[in-house]
Amino acid sequence: MKTIGLLGGMSWESSAEYYRLVNERVRELRGGFHSARIVLYSVDFAVIEAMQAEGRWDDAGQELNRAARALEAAGADFVVLCTNTMHKVADRLTEGLGIPLLHLADTTAAAIKASGLQGGIETGGTKGGIKAGGIKRVGLLGTGFTMAQPFYRERLAAHGLDVLVPDEADRETVHRIIYDELVHGVVTGESRERYREVIARIVAAGADGVIYGCTEIELLVGPEDSPVPTFPTTRLHAEAAVDYALGRISLPPAT
């Protein structure tokens, strides 16, 4: 089993989910007393959040590069960056690094493609069904950075996906709930309803599936909150990390 290097703390709420999901996946596949080999580096999110707000992305990339190097030095065989937004600086993070990064957008795209092979043809408008030929157009929910900036959408588009994002007002709602509530562990029914409304609108705009493209979003909504298939990036990333660590898959093809 390879040693998984979790680079987390952005926020620690979602990083705790990564730790749980990774170990549950190992238990599912290996059974008995097995658990994952993990090295965890957790940053101070206040430092990273300030860099985000001030547009200091290069500084943030340098900070995460230092963290990734520390994971490598501690024995990690590959890095799992436990946040969607900070994949904006993935290239900076991997500079001079001797171990690979399991890119979250690539694992998400692979799961969307696989869903078309596994889901079959949608019948009778079944909730969560997969359309014939698979999903090509997906809605993306995430932080304002992830939704508005091209780094994530372009990575998905390179895998052949057409990516829709909410309008400006809905983007502001999704972002505010993430930063004002979810990263602090606050989960409310009112905010869940706001997200359901955003999801309904992006589905009405033509999305055949919805990406929960922020690691905290899965703390608020699940597959039952969407009329179309959902792709929870935290769970998909964690499962792919285990599958790679156990030699069940190769790294998804980069773009």
Say whether 143 is catalytic.
no
Catalytic residue among 83, 94, 107, 230: 83
Asked whether the beta carbons of 158 and 190 are under 8 A apart, the reply is no
Say whether 82 is catalytic.
no
Both tokens assigned to 206: 């033509």
Sheet of 137-141: strands edge to edge?
A: 162-164, 137-141, 209-212, 230-232
Both tokens assigned to 161: 């996906």
Q: Smallest Cα–Cα separation from 245: which of 113, 100, 118?
A: 100
Catalytic residue among 82, 85, 108, 214: 214
Displacement of CA 176 from its chain's centroid (Å): 18
Going 48 to 43 to 83 to 253, the CA torsion angle's sign is positive
Buried b (16+ CB within 10 A) or exposed e, 75-112: ebbbbbbbbbbbbbbbebbbeeeebebbbbbbbbbbbb
* Helical spans, DSSP H, in the chain: 12-30, 45-53, 57-73, 90-93, 104-119, 144-148, 150-157, 168-180, 189-204, 233-245
Q: Which residues are catalytic?
A: 83, 214
